[in-house]
Amino acid sequence: MMRLVARRLIISVALVLFISLLTFVLQTLAPGDVARTILGCGGQTASCPEQQYQALRHELGLDQPLMVQYWQWLSQALTGDLGVSPVSGLDVSSAILSRLPVTASLVLLGTAATALVGVSVGVLSAVRGGRLGRVVDVLSLLGFALPNFWLALVFMALFSVTLGLLPATGYVPIDVSPRDWALSLILPVGTLMLAGMAGFAKQTRDSMLESLSQEYVRFLRANGASELSIVFRHALRNAAIPVVTMVGMLFVGLFSGALFIESVFALPGMGRLAVQATLGHDLPIVQGVVVVFTLIVVATNLVVDLVYGWLNPKVRVT
């Protein structure tokens, strides 16, 4: 277990360094640079006043070798300071931090709803089987095939525009009005849930069927263990081991999903920040989001490993 975590930690550090370096290297490949963008002569046609341009490059440290720039950025980043965007003038760390609660609400609720409904439906269809199983199959295919931003738009058209039940767009912080906060999240979270639920249920069911066919289930049943205990205490507990990995993947996946959902429902979250920064060529912000995002992925994988070890005694001792 310790070795597993140690290996994961080493990979995680390597990953964060790799990603941040990658974004730096990609910048040098970009046609034009930040200084030109700020001076408004980023395009091919406009020519920059050379002196002003060089001065700005020096001020931004762009005349330094790439590795020096990277080292400066990294040493600052380690203190939690991701710098200031010369394009928009925003402090990258605080821009991301102020958007984080929105994305966190969306993703955490989305993961919880998807996992909860998915596991329940999955267990039910494993125990009952038959028609429910086939419905889950079809829904999981649809959940895969239909783009979630399109689904979001359809729900918006139905519940907000046609029926007028829910707000179509916008976000209310929870400390302003918990009720409005909840209302503003129903459609986004609901979309994420419906898109992912069936796929999750299907995997839970497969995992449950696998555990239910194990020899220990037959043995326990033969010696009088109750059906409830067999399904929940034994089969589900064993099925939970792969399901935890799925929850981790789901959680990380929903951060990507948030890029689209936040845009559809105009939620001021990290995803929307990243998209707007990308459209505005605001690389430092994009880079900051990528790094924070990578940290979330890395942390999630670590948590999944730990929970995995906790659930699986075979891993725990080694």
Stretch 281-310 residues interacting with another protein (CB under 8 A): 281-283, 286-287, 289-290, 293-294, 297-298, 301
Interface segment toward another protein; rule CB under 8 A; list 46-54, 58-66, 91-99, 189-197: 189-197
Site for another protein in 6-35 (CB under 8 A): 11-12, 14-15, 18-19, 22-23, 26-27, 29-31
By the 8 A CB rule, do 293 and 255 touch? Answer: yes
Please select the residue that binds another protein; options are 117, 127, 132, 307, rule is CB under 8 A: 127
Q: Decide: is 237 part of the binding site for another protein (CB under 8 A).
A: yes
User: Among 287, 294, 290, which Cα is nearest to 70's?
Assistant: 287
225 binds another protein per the rule CB under 8 A: yes
User: Least distance to another protein from the beta carbon of 117, Å?
Assistant: 13
Cα-based angle 255, 259, 264 (whole degrees, multiple of 5): 130
Residue 165: how many other CB atoms lie within 10 Å: 11
Selected from 54, 69, 98, 263, the binder of another protein by CB under 8 A is: 263
- Beta carbons within 8 Å of 169's beta carbon, 6+ residues apart: 156, 265, 266, 267
Report H helices in 78-177.
Answer: 92-128, 131-145, 148-155
Pull the structure tokens for residue 85: 């965007």
CB 247 to another protein: min, Å: 10
Helix (H) or strand (E) holding 189: helix 178-212
Smaller CB distance to another protein: residue 148 or 184? 148
Q: Report d(CA 35, CA 250) in Å as an integer.
A: 39
277 sits near another protein (criterion: CB under 8 A): yes
What distance in Å separates the CA atoms of residue 234 and residue 127, rounded to the nearest whole number? Answer: 13
CA angle 196, 197, 200 (to 5 degrees): 85
Nearer to another protein, 92 or 246 (CB): 246
Q: Residue 84 has what DSSP assignment?
A: B
Q: Which stretch binds another protein (CB under 8 A): 57-65, 76-84, 175-183, 253-261?
A: 253-261
Which part of the chain contacts another protein (CB under 8 A), choosing from 46-54, 56-64, 178-186, 199-207?
199-207
Those residues with Cβ within 8 angstroms of residue 175's Cβ, 6 or more apart along the chain or in another chain: none
Positive or negative, the Cα torsion across 84, 85, 88, 90? negative
- Contact between 98 and another protein by CB under 8 A: the answer reads no
Crossing angle of the two packed helices 92-128 and 131-145, in degrees rounded to 10: 150
* Residue whose CB is less far from another protein, 173 or 242: 242
Q: 48-87 mask for another protein (x: CB under 8 A)?
A: ----------------------------------------
Minimum distance from residue 177 beta carbon to another protein (Å): 25
* Least distance in angstroms from the C-beta of 47 to another protein: 19
Nearer to another protein, 39 or 142 (CB): 142
CB nearer to another protein: give 11 or 67: 11
**How distant, in Å, are the alpha carbons of 65, 190, 210 from that of 124?**
60, 21, 14
Give whichever of 35 and 156 is closer to another protein, judged by the CB atom.
156
